[in-house]
Homo-oligomer: A and B are copies of this chain.
Amino acid sequence: MPISPDAFFLDRSPERGAGLPLQVQLRRQIIAAVTAGRFRAGEKLPSTRALADHLGVARVTVAQAFAELVSTDYLTSRDRSGHFISDRIERRIEAGDSPPATGRFDWDRQLEHRYSRAQRSDRTRDWQRYGYPFIYGQADPALVDHAAWRDCAMRVLGRREFAAVTSDLYDADDAELVDHIARQILPRRGISAGPDEILLTMGAQNALWLVTQLLLRPGASCAIEDPSYPGQREILSASGARVLPVPVDPQGLPPEAVPPGIAAVFTTASHQCPTNSTMPLARRKALLARAQAQGFAVVEDDYEFEMSFAGAPSPALKAIDRAGAVIYVGSFSKSVFPGLRLGYLVADPRFIAEARALRGMMLRHPPGHMQRTLAHFLSLGHYDAQANRMRRAFAQRRRIMLEAIAAEGMELASPGTTGGSSFWLATPPGIDAKVLTEVLKTRDVLIEPGAAFFSDPAQGRGFYRLAYSSIPAERIPEGIARIARTIRDLRP
């Protein structure tokens, strides 16, 4: 890419006293840009005339600056072609001349580091390079209907809908998408909601953040499942609220164990994260009765309800919520793809109004293009087709995985679950799941160790999650075999 004259500025102010000569400034700008990698070897600089015109200096000033840099190997000059960044710049950069990397402003004093400290540390960013990624939460390109998505995206970018896609919606949502969610998705969870009870969010992550900001003011406390979703705990950790973990059992969260005096309880009733238990109807009612009696809100994270293999999914907590105490969090990350960043909140209109005001201040609204494309994806039946395809593929992977796990004698910590896209396993005594994870990485296998899911990480040593959302069916047996082999290798 040729370097534009726009990339150059000169400071002419007399106040600088012994101000740097313009030629020196120009040389230093080029050196700084080369050092920072903004100008790259072989790139063509503007002609001396063009640059002189842009800067309002004499052409000879530019020519002299260029000549000096040619003699010091920053630039090369090619007869009539002009000047180029030299191929030998690496040597020059090592020789010095680089400006200090950070300024002198005391950012450490200014920043609390509250968020970086609370940040979860359990993610593997380069998950894609593993041959056997038993990792949760990423898209599987083989299952996403990218042609249908592209078709929907294109429809939305015609002139007719372009205004809707490009406008600043302020704090509003795309009415078409809200309508589809209300009429096509929510009824499947037994939920009846109007537009004033629905708010679109940038994924469930954003929804959980909004809920936390609004419900958990300083000094408030909340209850969470234990083990639970690390993303939720990360948000709560940064909030400063008191977090009271409630151990789950094979039926999920026990309502009678939810402590009093809390502002809210966070639950994953459909598929407990990470154990995948489904909360039975009796418990759901007991939890809601307790919430109404004691005045705490129930935050229901209904991620991946579509992945139910034993018949239709059970109705959501929100569906039987007569008192209006439930805040329902939905997401398209699993059923469409996570890079979409679209989810939604369904709750009492008073809560939604406040959440809308907050979301508006934080980011206005999710991009119109993504909202409207998703609306088409829903209305044209692609969402249903994709959910069905994923369900079939996951059911097959689940079967294969269960067989392999049984054949290898590995231990399911949560047997009998009927949904989700992962298994929760226990290591044999004496084997730390973190150590298992690290050794498996050297064998091209990626698993998720249990520590990140527990309030007390030490409790997670003996657990790990194996998701099948991103690993092709044919690779599962070998992946499981490697895990079993490694477990044997690690026996004390």
Contacts and interface: CB of A to CB of B under 8 A. Distances in A.
A238 interface: yes
B102 A192 contact: no
Nearest to A202: B363
Given A333-B168, A354-B116, A367-B339, A281 B361 contact: no
Interface stretch (A84-92, A141-149, A447-455): A141-149
A261 B7 CA distance: 36
A321 interface: yes
Nearest to A205: B364
Interface string A309-341: 000100100011111110000000100011111
B361 A119 contact: yes
A163 to B, nearest CB: 6
Contacts of A491: none
B350 A107 contact: yes
A130 interface: no
A205 B362 contact: yes
A322 B103 contact: yes
Contact of A104 (B164, B235, B282, B292): B292
Contact of A105 (B149, B281, B348): B348
A158 B292 CA distance: 50
Nearest to A352: B107
A102 to B, nearest CB: 6
A205 B113 CA distance: 22
A163 B141 contact: yes
Given A102-B324, A339-B169, A368-B339, A7 B188 contact: yes
A51 to B, nearest CB: 12
B361 A115 contact: yes
Interface in A23-70: 32-33, 36-38, 54
Given A234-B361, A357-B116, A281 B11 contact: yes
A78 interface: no
A102 B348 contact: yes
The residue among A106, A325, A361 with the most chain B CB atoms within 10 A of its own CB is: A361
Nearest to A196: B101
Contact of A321 (B32, B103, B172): B103
A36 B169 CA distance: 25
A339 B369 contact: yes
A120 to B, nearest CB: 9
A422 interface: no
B172 A144 contact: no
A382 to B, nearest CB: 14
Contacts of A37: 194
A396 interface: no
8 A-B pairs with least C-beta separation: A103-B324, A168-B338, A7-B187, A166-B337, A339-B368, A115-B357, A202-B363, A150-B157
13 contacts: A11-B320, A37-B194, A38-B187, A102-B348, A105-B324, A106-B295, A125-B172, A128-B163, A141-B163, A146-B166, A150-B158, A164-B339, A209-B363
Given A144-B162, A146-B157, 18 more contacts: A4-B187, A7-B188, A11-B281, A13-B282, A102-B350, A110-B297, A112-B214, A113-B354, A115-B357, A116-B354, A118-B361, A119-B357, A119-B360, A154-B154, A205-B361, A206-B362, A209-B361, A238-B358
